[in-house]
């Protein structure tokens, strides 16, 4: 019988693969979800990223957290 840790790891790996597949099939969904979390327009987010900012930079500037962004992206996937 497999341990709980092994089953948890397998479940996490499957969920990660589902998320990657989702973003690969609809890459604009990533920008939509992130912009929605930040409370800004998609075009504004793209401009900020094109200017060299990271998602963490954008999160901080809009009073959000990196962890919150990750949670929002996982929920949107």
Write out the residue range of the structural domain in which residue 32 sits: 4-76
6 vs 30, residue with greater confidence: 30
Task: Give the pLDDT band (50/70/90) at residue 2.
Answer: low
pLDDT at res. 73: 84
| Radius of gyration over every alpha carbon of the chain, rounded to an integer in angstroms | 15
Domains: count for the chain: 1
pLDDT at 45: 93
Task: Say which range, 1-5, 42-46, 61-65, has the weakest mean pLDDT.
Answer: 1-5
Report the C-alpha gap between 58 and 47 in whole angstroms: 11
User: What residues contact residue 38 under an 8 Å CB cut-off, 6+ apart?
Assistant: 45, 58, 59, 62, 64, 69
- Read off the pTM: 0.68
What average pLDDT does the structure give for the chain?
85
Q: What angle (nearest 5°) sits at the alpha carbon of residue 63, between those of residues 22 and 28?
A: 20
**CA–CA distance, 74 with 33 (Å, rounded to integer):** 9
């Amino acid at each position: 019988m497999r341990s709980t840790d092994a089953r948890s790891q397998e479940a996490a790996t499957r969920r990660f693969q589902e998320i990657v597949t989702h973003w690969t099939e609809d890459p604009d969904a990533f920008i939509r979800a992130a912009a929605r979390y930040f409370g800004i327009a998609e075009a504004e987010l793209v401009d900020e990223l094109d200017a060299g900012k990271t998602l963490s930079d954008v999160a901080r500037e809009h009073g959000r957290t990196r962890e919150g962004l990750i949670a929002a992206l996982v929920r949107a996937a």
